[in-house]
């Protein structure tokens, strides 16, 4: 896929989360990683790409197609994407299976049986066999995130958007979630991933967009970025992250 942004701005009150972001990825980027310091605009850009947020100005294009600026269009566009957030994704009053099946029934028009079958299949694929009836509070953080990924994948989304999906997890759980993401990437799922797991991004990403202070400091093929980042801020970021690893 090709992601493009032209002068995208998004303000929250007086804070500019995106301050004229410009970039264009290669046409065949399968996994795009959003890197950069906290508060740099990764999450906001991810939400704009997924149509959860509409930018104040500027345009975002996915494979040459402009994203809608109106709420109705954004809702329809959202339904073609899958999201996983940092934590507290799942609906706590529903079982793992119902978390997956409910949107399939209500949003995507599947029958109850088809939705349940799809839910069971996906939970099993993500290693959650036998956990279908559990509520989120009865599962570990890693299991919760895998269930959230199952829910995001259920309607066969064009884009899977992951917003720091492992930031709230310990190293063991982080590894189990990242394994899942890597398998999905290798299976051809198009992914946009905001993360601080630089070594993971280095392994799976095709393209890197580096954001700081609401601006795109760098947008380049992952190989080139990790080999020799152009901007000093990206160099400092990579050095800082690798200092204790």
Interface residue list for other proteins (CB under 8 A)? 50, 52, 75, 78-79, 81, 83, 85, 87-93, 102-103, 106-108, 135, 137-138, 151-152, 155
Quote the distance between the C-alpha of residue 189 and its chain's center.
12
- On whether the CB atoms of residues 141 and 87 are closer than 8 A, the answer is yes
Whichever of 6 and 79 has its CB closer to other proteins, that residue is: 79
CA 32/CA 35 separation, integer angstroms? 10
Nearer to other proteins, 92 or 240 (CB): 92
CB nearer other proteins, residue 138 or residue 239: 138
Cβ proximity to other proteins, 2 vs 108, nearer residue: 108
Min dist CB 188 to other proteins, Å, is 22
Kindly state the smallest distance separating residue 238's Cβ from other proteins, in Å: 30
Please say which residue, 166 or 219, places its beta carbon nearer to other proteins: 166
Q: How far is the CB of 236 from other proteins (least distance, A)?
A: 31
In 3D, which of 225, 212, 233 has the Cα closest to residue 45? Answer: 212
Give first-to-last CA distance, the chain, whole Å: 32
Tokens encoding 78: 């959202």
- What token pair was written down for 31? 């996994």
Q: CA-CA distance, 64 to 154, in Å (whole number)?
A: 25
Task: Name residues whose C-beta falls within 8 Å of residue 172's C-beta, 6 or more positions apart in sequence.
Answer: 142
Least distance (Å) from other proteins to the CB of residue 91?
A: 6
The Cα–Cα gap between 159 and 191 comes to 6
CB of 104 to other proteins, least distance (A): 9
């Amino acid at each position: 896929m090709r992601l493009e942004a032209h002068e995208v701005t998004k303000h929250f009150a007086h804070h500019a989360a995106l301050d004229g972001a410009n970039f264009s990825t290669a046409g065949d980027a399968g996994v795009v990683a959003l890197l950069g310091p906290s508060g740099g605009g990764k999450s906001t850009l991810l939400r704009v790409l997924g149509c959860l947020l509409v930018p104040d100005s500027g345009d975002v294009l996915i494979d040459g197609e402009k994203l809608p600026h109106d709420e109705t269009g954004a809702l329809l566009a959202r339904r073609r994407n899958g999201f996983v957030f940092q934590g507290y994704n799942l609906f706590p009053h529903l079982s793992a299976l119902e978390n997956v099946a409910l949107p399939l029934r209500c949003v995507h028009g599947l029958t109850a049986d088809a939705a349940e079958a799809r839910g069971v299949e996906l939970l099993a694929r993500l290693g959650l066999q036998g956990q279908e009836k559990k509520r989120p509070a009865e599962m570990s953080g890693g299991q919760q995130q895998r269930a959230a990924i199952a829910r995001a994948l259920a309607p066969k989304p064009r884009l899977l958007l992951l917003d720091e999906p492992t930031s709230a997890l310990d190293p063991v759980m982080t590894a189990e979630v990242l394994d899942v993401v890597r398998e999905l990437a290798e299976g051809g799922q198009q992914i946009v991933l905001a993360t601080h797991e630089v070594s993971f991004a280095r392994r799976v990403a095709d393209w890197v967009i580096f954001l700081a202070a609401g601006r795109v400091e760098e947008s380049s093929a992952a190989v080139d970025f990790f080999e020799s980042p152009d901007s000093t801020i990206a160099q400092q970021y990579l050095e800082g992250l690798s200092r204790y690893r």
